[in-house]
Amino acid sequence: MSANPFDDAEARFLVLTNEHDQHSLWPATVTVPAGWSVALAESARDECVRYVERNWTDLRPREASR
């Protein structure tokens, strides 16, 4: 059984955003999925979490047409 890269507190992560301005913490070693863009370059997990907390305050999806 392999370890889940999302659970590794020592790993490096990215913060991704999609067209609805939703954010995702993403392992830097995993390919960025289609439809998502890098909002914060590779950083420590805690730095990524702080970025998401500061920048994604409304969890409702933004309308893509805006």
- Interatomic CA distance for residues 59 and 34, integer angstroms: 21
Predicted confidence pLDDT, tens digits, the chain (66 residues): 457 888 888 899 999 999 999 999 999 999 999 999 999 999 999 999 999 999 988 777 777 544
The pLDDT of residue 49 is: 94
Q: Are strands 36-44 and 23-27 parallel, antiparallel or unpaired?
A: unpaired
The pLDDT of residue 1 is: 47
CA 15 to chain centre: 3
Q: What fold is seen in the domain 12-55?
A: Rubredoxin-like (3.90.820)
The pLDDT of residue 2 is: 58
Closest CA to 6 of 37, 40, 22, 30: 30
